[in-house]
Structure 1
Amino acid sequence: VQAIADANQYGQCDALIVGRGGGSLEDLWPFNEEAVARAVFASEIPVVSAVGHEVDFTIADFAADLRAPTPSAAAELLSPDGEDMLNQFEGFEMLLAEAVIRKIRHLEQRTDYLQKRLQHPGRKLQEQTQHLDHLDIRLRRAMAGKMQQQTTQMQSAQDRLVRQSPKQAIAQRKQAVANSVKQIMRAVSQQLELKQSKTAQAMHLLDTVSPLKTLGRGYSIIRDSSDKVVKTVAQVSAGDTLRGQLTDGEVVFSVTETTTKTL
C-alpha cells in the first residue's frame, strides 16, 4: 500500500505491476485485503494486477485497471514490441517519400501552368521566376522540417527500445531514410534548374520579338490623338496630329498629305 502511495506521489512511473508468483491461498491472501484493493483502485497511475497463476483470482484483480495471468505476462503487456517499432519506421519512410513526390508533381504542374500564362516578356517572367524561388525555399524548409520531425521520432523510439537494443536495425533505417532524402533533394534541384532554364529561354525568345527591339532597328509606332495605333492610311486625314514613338522618345507631327501605296 505504501509503495503504491509513494509511486503516485513521485510520479516517475508510467504504470505499476502489483503481484507475486504462485503460492497457497494464505500466500496470496494479502491481495484480498481491503486496504490493498482501495490503494489499487485509488491509484492515478494505471495498475496491472498479476497475482499467482492464471487460475488464481484476488480482489486486487477487480480493482486494477488490467489483470495479467502471471507477473511475466504483465511485463510483456507493458513492454513495446521492437518489430512493431521497426515497421513504424518503414511506414514513416514511405509516407515521407510519398509526400515529397506529391509535392514535386504539384510544383511541376504549377510551373507548367504559370509558363502558359506568360503575358509580358519582362515583368511577368520575373514574377514567375520569383515565385519559383519562393516555392523552392518552401519545399526545402518543408523537407527540412519533415526530416527533423522524423529524426526526433526515431530518436525517441530508439530511447524506448534501449533494453531490446535494436541499434543496428535503427541505424540502418536512419541511413536508408537519409539516403532517400538526399536522392529526392537532388531530383528536386535538377527539376527546378530545368524549369528555370526553360523560363530563361522563353524570356530570351519573347525579348527578341518585343516591339521595343523593333523600334531599335529604325521602325516607329504611330498613334493618333486618341492614342490608337495607326495601321493604315485610311485612319489618317490631312491636318491630323500624330505621335511617333521611337526607341528614345516621341515625335509629334501634322499630316499634310496622304497617299496609298500597294506593296
Structure 2
Amino acid sequence: FTIADFVADIRAATPTAAAQTVTPNKTDLINELTLQQKRLSALIYKKITEQRIYCHNIAQRLKRALPLASYYWQKIDHMERQFTYHMQARLRYLDHRLALLHSSLLAYNPNARLKQGREKLQKLVQNLKRAMDLALKHHFARFQNSLHLLNLVSPLSTLERGYAVALKQQHVLISTNDIAIGDEIEVRLAKGCLTCRVLTAN
C-alpha cells in the first residue's frame, strides 16, 4: 500500500477499473440528465401552476376590492371638495377680518385723526367767525338803535335844538316854586353855561 491508497475516496483494483470509475457511463449519464430534466420540468410546472393560482387569487381579490376602492375614492374626492370649500370660506373670512382690522387701524391712525381734528377745528373756527360777525352786526345794530333813541331823549339834543336847562345847586329846576327872588341859578346851553340871578318869578 501507498499513502495514495489511504487518502483516496474510492479504490480500484486495476487501472481499467479506475478509468471506468473516473469516466461515467454515457448511458447512465444520459439517464441521469433525463431524470434531472424531468424533475426540473415538474418543478417548473409546479411553480408556474402555483403562480397562476396566486395570480388568480389576486385577481379575484382585486375584483372584490374594486367597488370598495371606488367607494373610498369617491369619499376621498368628496372630502377633498369639502376641505377646499371650507378652506376657501375660511380664507374669505380671514380676508374680510383683515380688511376690517386695516380700516380700524386707519381710523385710529394718529395722522388720520389729527387731520380730521384739524379739519373739524377749521370748520369750528369758521363757524365761530361767522357767529361772531353776526353777533357783532346784531349788537352794533342794537347799539345804533339805542344810540338813536338816546339821542332823541338826551338833554344835549334838546339843547342843540335851542332849549336850555336851569339848575340850582346841581338840581334841575322844573317849577318857579323851587326858586326865590335873588337866587343864583345856572343855565346850561348847547355851548357853554350862564350864571343868572332871579329877578322875577311868575
Higher relative contact order (CA 8 A, sep 6+): 1
TM-score (normalizing by structure 1): 0.33
TM-score normalised by length of structure 2: 0.41
Higher-Rg member (1/2): 2
Larger fraction in helix: 2
